[in-house]
Structure 1
Amino acid sequence: MLDIERALNNDRLLRSLSGLNRQAFDELLPAFERAYLAAQNHQTLAGRPRQRAAGGGQKGQLGESQSKLFLLLVYFKCYPTFDVLGFLFDLDYSRANRWVHRLQPMLEVALGEKLALPERKIDSVEAFIERFPSVKTVMIDGTERPIARPQDKESQKDNYSGKKRRHTRKHLGATDEKKRVLILTPAREGKVHDKRLLDQTQIAQTIPDEIPIALDLGFQGLQNEVVQVRIPHKKPRGGSLTDDQKRENRQLSQERVVCENAFAGVKRYRAVAEVYRNRVSGFDDHLMLTACGLWNFYLSSCLRLTE
């Protein structure tokens, strides 16, 4: 089994394996333990309702909560196959599979307790202000992750992204000037256009008028619907942009790159960057939500470290 203490005592190694530094890991562990104990009191490892009190029976190979959290973070950061993950933690591949799918909801609960998870939907301007009172700028963009080519022809058609030229699943995310992911829409088929998805989710309409929204040309037309939208100038057919328009486009690109950096930070977790190979329905959506929560939690931990 991996020497977890060696990783915990080497910050560079810990970040390479888990995506978190030691301070962030230690801060997250108590919340994860509470989520694990709460779930353990209600269901067994197999997911069935618990009939007897927790704590009885044979002890698991992983042992304490620290090892369980480390295993799950290694899965998110490195995205090994379950054969490799089982080999690293001295488990059968099927048990490694069960542990990952059992522990992921507990990590999601722990990140929710830490207020690190992005919102799935904001219902009103008042709700946005209450949840994100300090946000000064919002950037909205889509992000896709590749999936294996579906066997069903309809699924192939729905999930094929003309932009990426492969089969993908798509999310729409709203980030702030500090690279935090504020809102993350549920996973959708790769063929859905960013503008159409934004219209369906109504994210822009719930952002206060005094907060500018920076977008790319994929959302062309939204500036006619929402007053605070900032979108690049589109080069006219057969013409060219003026020097002032080019300068404004460069300035907007410098602001919007924060959104790209945020998604790049989330995709340090290879479980949401590489070709998705799990088979549990909806698990890809929970992987992305949890990865965004881990990224937000890491940012907040780094901010506290510098204060």
Structure 2
Amino acid sequence: MRYEQTLRLSNREFKRLVGVQRHTFNQIVNVLQDAASHRQTRGSSKKLCLEDQALVCLTYWREYRTYFHIASDWQVSQATVCRTVHWVENILVNSGRFRLGGKKSLLAPSKTPKTVAMDVTESPIERPKYGQKLFFSGKQKRHPLKSQFVIDLETLQVLCVFNDSGRRHDFKLFIHSKVRFHPETESLEDSGYQGIAKFHANSHIPKKKPKGGKLTKQQKQFNRDLARRRVAVEHVNRRLKIFRIFSQRYRNRRKRFALRCHLIAAIYNHDLQNAS
């Protein structure tokens, strides 16, 4: 669907189509226009305007079809779709307008979040030809890539993301990421983060049932309250996995997965700010 055809869609239908609101889409186009004005071009004119190039990239993330099928719809070559997606991604990353706060934002005195939640989500990948043990997850019995998200529970924004192979345990992934929280920040985690209290005293994980024993009513109520507060993390994961490039089996080169993960999370934050 060309950009001219999307003008007839409602705002709700437009977001269902590409995954972002119109205001966020217009901001993406403005970034591309600034980059295109400084770019020296040779040869014939582009077959796709800047609005269509942004649509091609968002459609690729949203539907995650092959370059062949997308190229057939837009009546261009597969190489054109590949170059367009990579060019749009590089421009958006280098512009600085779509960027996460990072680990330093968790310790900044002026922007210290009150309550955060940390969770890990997995994206399956093709079975690697070499080094399969580095990516094999014994729990899921598949080869995934893990993404650790830190969410501000007040704003539901993604503060930082860290990516690693599927073999690494969630708690070891936290240690390897070197993510640290401000002493006044309350952090909520699941049972996969046993031992996080050594790194952050103001953290809460579910109470574990003792061997051969049972949980008390107070402990069960604590676990229910904690799960009720942490459910917002699952909502954020669901919004990010609207882009099927995360939810479906990742077919591209793994070295570009982290770039796309950070970029889409930053676009989600921008979209969330406009919605509020």
**Same fold, TM exceeding 0.5?**
yes
- The aligned runs of 1:4-83 (5 Å cut-off) are 4-10=3-9, 11-38=11-38, 40=39, 54-63=40-49, 65-83=50-68
Q: Secondary structure at the match of 1:129?
A: coil
- The aligned runs of 1:54-133 (5 Å cut-off) are 54-63=40-49, 65-110=50-95, 112-113=96-97, 116-122=98-104, 125=107, 128-130=108-110, 132-133=111-112
Whole-angstrom CA distance in 1 between matches of 2:89 and 2:64? 13
Instruction: Determine if the alignment matches structure 1 residue 181 to structure 2 residue 158.
Output: yes
Q: Secondary structure at the match of 1:103?
A: helix
Deviation at 1:36, TM superposition (A): 4.3
Whole-angstrom CA distance in 2 between matches of 1:193 and 1:16? 34
Whole-angstrom CA distance in 2 between matches of 1:157 and 1:36? 43
Unaligned runs of 5+ in 2: none
- Tell me: CA distance 1:225–1:103, structure 2 relative to 1, closer, same or farther (3 Å): closer
Q: Secondary structure at the match of 2:109?
A: helix
Q: Which residue of 2 aligns with 1:159?
A: 135
Q: TM-score, normalised by structure 1?
A: 0.83
Q: Which residue of 2 aligns with 1:48?
A: none
Q: Secondary structure at the match of 2:145?
A: strand
- AA aligned to 1:15 is K
Deviation at 1:300, TM superposition (A): 0.9
Equivalent residue for 2:127, pick from 136, 149, 157: 149
Whole-angstrom CA distance in 2 between matches of 1:118 and 1:13? 27
Deviation at 1:123, TM superposition (A): 8.3
- AA aligned to 2:255 is G
Equivalent residue for 1:268, pick from 242, 245, 250: 242
Whole-angstrom CA distance in 2 between matches of 1:255 and 1:124? 19
Give deviations 1:70-128, integer Å, cap 9, x for gaps: 11111111111000111122111122112212221112234x32xx4324443872xx3
Whole-angstrom CA distance in 1 between matches of 2:184 and 2:21? 36
- AA aligned to 2:161 is L
Deviation at 1:24, TM superposition (A): 2.4
8 Å contact from structure 1 (residues 149, 156) kept in 2: yes
Unaligned runs of 5+ in 1: 41-53
Equivalent residue for 2:184, pick from 197, 210, 213: 210
Whole-angstrom CA distance in 2 between matches of 1:168 and 1:37? 40
Q: Which residue of 2 aligns with 1:282?
A: 255
Cα RMSD over matched residues?
Answer: 1.9
Deviation at 1:288, TM superposition (A): 1.1
Whole-angstrom CA distance in 2 between matches of 1:3 and 1:268? 21
Whole-angstrom CA distance in 1 between matches of 2:248 and 2:93? 21
- Tell me: CA distance 1:72–1:147, structure 2 relative to 1, closer, same or farther (3 Å): same
Q: Secondary structure at the match of 1:293?
A: helix
Give deviations 1:253-286, integer Å, cap 9, x for gaps: 011111111111111111122111113x511111
Aligned residues: 274
Q: Which residue of 2 aligns with 1:44?
A: none
